[in-house]
Structure 1
Amino acid sequence: MAKCVMRTGWRASGGTLRFSSICLKNWPNVPAYPNAPNSIITLTQRRSLFVLPFGIDVGILGVAAYYITRLKKPDPDNVVSIFGPDPWSKESDLHPEKVVKCIAHRGAGLDAPENTIQAFKYCVERDCRFVELDVRSSRDGHLVLLHDQGLGRLTGTDITDVHIMDWEKIKNIDIGATHPNRQQFKEVHLCLLDDALNYLLANNVRMIIDIKGEDKQVVNGILKAFSNQPALYRYAVVTCFNPFTLYQIRKRDPQVVGAISYRPYCFSAQDYDAENGPTNPRFGDNLPVQALLRVADLVHSLLWRWSARWCAASAVLLHKDIVSPSEVQYWRSLGIRCAGWSVNRPLEKLYWRGVLRAPYLASTLLGEPDVDEQKRVEKRSIKEVD
Structure 2
Amino acid sequence: MVSAVQRIAHRGGARLAPENTLAAFRQALALPVDAIELDVQMSRDGHLIVFHDATVERLTDGRGNILDLDFAYLRSLNAAAHFPGGWSEPQRIPTLREALEVVRGRRLVWIEIKPSRRGSVYGRYPGIGEAVVSELRQCDMLDQAVIISFDWYLLPEIKRLAPGIQTGAIVSEDIWDPQAGQALDTLLEQVRELGCDWLDLEEALFLPELPALIHSYGLKLGIWTVNSAERLLSLAEGGVDALTSDQPDLFAVLSLDR
> Which TM bucket (shorter chain)?
0.7 to 0.9
Residue matched to 1:347 = 230
| Corresponding position: 1:189 with 2:92 | yes
Counterpart of 1:212, as a letter, is: K
Name 1:222's counterpart in structure 2. Answer: 132
2:187 to 299, 304, 324: 304
- Out of 201, 206, 209, the residue aligned to residue 326 of structure 1 is 209
Q: What secondary structure sits across from 1:128 in the alignment?
A: coil
Once structures 1 and 2 are overlaid, which stretch shifts more, 339-348 or 301-310?
Answer: 301-310
Structure in which a larger fraction of residues adopt helix: 1
Equivalent residue, structure 1, for 2:41: 136
CA distance in 2, matches of 1:189, 1:365: 22
Deviations 1:189-231 (A, max 9, x none): 10000111111104x210111000332331121121233233x
Ranges in structure 1 where 5+ consecutive residues have no aligned partner: 1-86, 93-98, 278-296, 377-386
Q: Does 1:170 align with 2:93?
A: no
Aligned counterparts of 1:134 and 1:260: Cα–Cα separation in 2:
14
CA deviations on 1:52-77 (whole Å, 9 max, x unpaired) are xxxxxxxxxxxxxxxxxxxxxxxxxx
Q: Is the 8 A contact 2:188 2:217 kept in 1?
A: no
Looking at structure 2, the residues matched to 261 and 329 of structure 1 have their Cα atoms a distance apart, in angstroms, of 18
- C-alpha distance 307-349 of structure 1, shift in aligned 2 (>3 A): same
Counterpart mapping for 1:63-78 below 5 A: none
Equivalenced residues, count: 250
SS at match of 2:168: strand
Q: Cα–Cα, structure 1 residues 142 and 298, in superposed 2: closer, same or farther, change >3 Å?
A: farther
Superposed CA deviations along residues 310-335 of structure 1, whole A, max 9, x for unmatched, are 12111110001111231111111222
Q: Which of 226, 243, 251 is the aligned partner of 2:152?
A: 243
Q: Distance in 2 between matches of 1:223 and 1:369?
A: 32
> Hey, what does 1:258 align to over in structure 2?
167
Shift of 1:170: 1.3
Q: Sort the Cα spacing of 1:300 and 1:199 in 2 relative to 1 into closer, same or farther, 3 A.
A: farther
Structure 1 residue 156 displacement after superposition: 5.2
Pair 1:304–1:164, CA change in 2 (3 A): farther
Higher strand share: 2
The structure-2 alpha-carbon separation of the partners of 1:175 and 1:372, relative to structure 1 and needing over 3 Å to count, comes to: closer
Amino acid at match of 2:227: N
* Alpha carbons of structure 1 residues 180 and 139: separation in structure 2 relative to 1, 3 Å: same
Instruction: Look up the SS of the partner of 2:36 in the other structure.
Output: strand
Where structure 2 has 5 or more consecutive residues not aligned to the other structure, the ranges are 116-123
In 1, Cα distance between the equivalents of 2:158 and 2:222?
Answer: 21
Q: Distance in 2 between the 1:197 and 1:162 partners?
A: 21
Residues 1:300 and 1:135: Cα distance change in structure 2 (over 3 Å)? farther
The 1-side partners of 2:134 and 2:238 are apart by: 39
Gap change, CA 1:226 and 1:177, over 3 Å in 2: closer
Please report how far the alpha carbon of residue 338 of structure 1 lies from its aligned counterpart in structure 2 after TM superposition.
0.3
Q: Specify whether residues 247 and 101 from structure 1 end up closer, same or farther in structure 2 by C-alpha distance, changes over 3 A only.
A: closer
Identity among equivalent pairs (%): 22
Q: 1:367 maps to what in 2? A: 250
Mapping for residues 1-386 of structure 1, pairs under 5 Å:
99-155=4-60, 157-159=62-64, 161-183=65-87, 185-202=88-105, 204-213=106-115, 214-230=124-140, 232-266=141-175, 303-371=186-254, 373=256
How big is the alpha-carbon RMSD for the aligned residues of Structure 1 and Structure 2?
A: 2.8
State TM-score, norm by structure 2: 0.86
How far, CA to CA, are the matches of 2:68 and 2:135 in structure 1?
23
Determine if contact 1:264/1:301 at 8 Å carries over to the other structure.
no
Larger Rg: 1
Describe the superposition over 1:29-87 as per-residue Cα deviations: whole angstroms up to 9, x where unpaired: xxxxxxxxxxxxxxxxxxxxxxxxxxxxxxxxxxxxxxxxxxxxxxxxxxxxxxxxxx9
1:86-139 CA distances to partner (integer Å, 9 max, x unpaired)? x99xxx7xxxxxx34420011101111111110010111224231110000001
- CA shift for structure 1 position 298: 7.7
Structure 2 letter corresponding to 1:188: Q
Q: Which has the higher contact order (CA 8 A, sep 6+)?
A: 2
Q: Is the 8 A contact 2:148 2:169 kept in 1?
A: yes
Q: Normalised by the size of structure 1, how large is the TM-score?
A: 0.59
In structure 2, relative to structure 1, the CA distance for the partners of 1:328 and 1:178 (3 Å cut) is same
Which residue identity does 1:210 align to in structure 2?
Answer: E
